[in-house]
Amino acid sequence: MRTLSHLDQIISKIILVLALSITNSPVWADNPQDPFRVKANVVQQGDTFLITASYQSPLNQCQAYQFLTDYEAAKKVPGVLDSKATRRSDHKVLVERWAEEKILFFTIKLHTLIEYTEYPMKGTEFVQIKGDSKRFTGHWSILPNNSGAIIKYEGILEPDSHLPMFILKHFIQNNLEDRFRVIAKMAADAQQLESVCK
């Protein structure tokens, strides 16, 4: 029988997998005071979660692509301790990340290896090579508009857990919007940095 601390570890690892990079009732953030217009949604389908999110960014298309492919900047996301990228070819990158999450009285350390395929100026696709989920795949897309670009995320997460799915969904939902708000703020801050996009 699994102990409570082991269950907490599983929950925190799932949340962390979402930070590393996101039932049928949507979780939509449509706050008029939110300059990023963050939207996040989790849908459970059997043993998997379909996760979608988007936010408005002031970055132009080129800047948004540079932001998405700055894999080592993930160190600025709360909980991510380190993120190292190794280029395998012109459009393939392996990203190794170490993270730490605190849930209740427990501190959990996590290590993942994700392969990204880059589509210049359009976005990226990713697949977990090693990690704490049975499956974690998805993509990021850049949609230019008059205010900069909308950055969209779609992911599929199949947890490796014996916990009831409604408990896992609850933890994912309660952290998803905040994680994407942090990423949206990072993108806005990146606009101030020097860019190869002139």
- For 117-174, how does the pLDDT look when each residue is reduced to its tens digit (9 = 90+)? 999 999 999 999 998 778 889 999 999 999 999 999 999 988 776 666 666 666 666 6
Query: What are 26-30's contacts with CB under 8 Å, separation 24+?
Result: 27/173, 27/176, 27/177, 29/177, 29/181
Question: CA–CA separation, 53 vs 140, rounded Å?
Answer: 10
What phi, psi does 185 have (nearest 5°)?
Answer: -65, -40
Residue 13 pLDDT > 90: no
Please give the pLDDT value at position 6.
44
Strands, DSSP E only, in the chain? Answer: 39-45, 48-57, 80-89, 92-103, 106-119, 123-130, 133-145, 148-159
Residue 119 forms beta bridges with which residues? 123
Dihedral through CA 114, CA 101, CA 178, CA 154, nearest 10? 20
What is the spatial distance between Cα 136 and Cα 161, in angstroms, rounded to a whole number? 14
**Which class is domain 4-190?**
alpha beta
pLDDT 10s digits, 61-82: 999 999 999 998 888 877 788 9
Tokens representing residue 136 in the block: 């974690």
Task: Choose among 128, 151, 125: nearest CA to 138.
Answer: 125
* Integer Cα distance of 154 and 190 in angstroms: 22
Q: Where are the domains of the chain?
A: 4-190
Query: What is the reported pTM?
Result: 0.76
Q: Which of 176, 156, 168, 179 is nearest to 9 (CA)?
A: 168
